Amino acid sequence: MTTTATASTRERLLDAAAELFYRDGVGIGVEALCRAAGVSKRSMYQLFGSKDEVLAAALQRRAPSYETLLIPPKDEPGPPRARILYVFERLEAASTEPAYRGCPFLAVEVELKNPEHPASQVARRAKQALTDFFRTEAERGGAHDPGLLARQLTLVFDGASARAGVGSETLDGLTLTTAGALLDAAGVQE
């Protein structure tokens, strides 16, 4: 098999995995995954040692685009408060999409319930990157306790994305006002 064919097979497998695991959960079987990707199980196992490795690789591949969706670019200046609220604006916009199922990284952690699983480790790093962003902006904005505020904002983000992802809540400004109240209480200025 050529390098291009291997890359194409790998990409198809990771694309299918990202879509299926997000839509249907991590319990999707190898056969269904391979069928959706248009690859044989043999090909999958030549590229990955297990379905767990496919899941971790699919999440790792998705992390940069998810971060780009939510976090304003580093080279785009703005006040820390506005940069933090941008994340919640993006969350609220994403939650209105018909295919929205919540934060893919939180979903994997909840479904797996195993912090040692390779996909849980990828998910934890992605969630930590969001918390780190909040902390950096909270520090820039003069928050009384940037670490606490960052954790609170992540909690709001995760709770809102989970509730919207299962269809039990529409966000319609809810996360923006909640995050705004936390920013006010923490002393983050306009």
State which residues form the domain around 142.
56-185
* Nearest alpha carbon to residue 60 among 99, 113, 118, 116: 118
Half-sphere exposure of residue 74, counting CA atoms within 13 Å on the CB side? 3
Count structural domains, the chain.
1
Q: What percent of the chain has pLDDT over 70?
A: 96
Residue 42 in any domain: the answer is no
CATH classification of the domain holding 178:
1.10.357.10
Q: What share of the chain is helix, strand, coil (3-state, %, to 5)?
A: 70, 0, 30
What is the sign, positive or negative, of the torsion defined by CA atoms of 179, 183, 185, 190?
Answer: negative
According to the model, what pLDDT value does residue 75 have? 85
Residue 33 in any domain: the answer is no
* Nearest alpha carbon to residue 154 among 171, 178, 118, 121: 178
Residue 49 in any domain: the answer is no
53 burial class (0-12, 13-18, 19+ CB within 10 angstroms)?
middle
Per-residue pLDDT reduced to its tens digit, 128-187: 999 999 999 999 999 999 999 999 999 999 999 999 999 998 999 999 999 999 999 999
Within 10 A of 79 (CB to CB), how many other CB atoms are there?
14
Confidence of residue 3 (pLDDT cuts 50, 70, 90): low
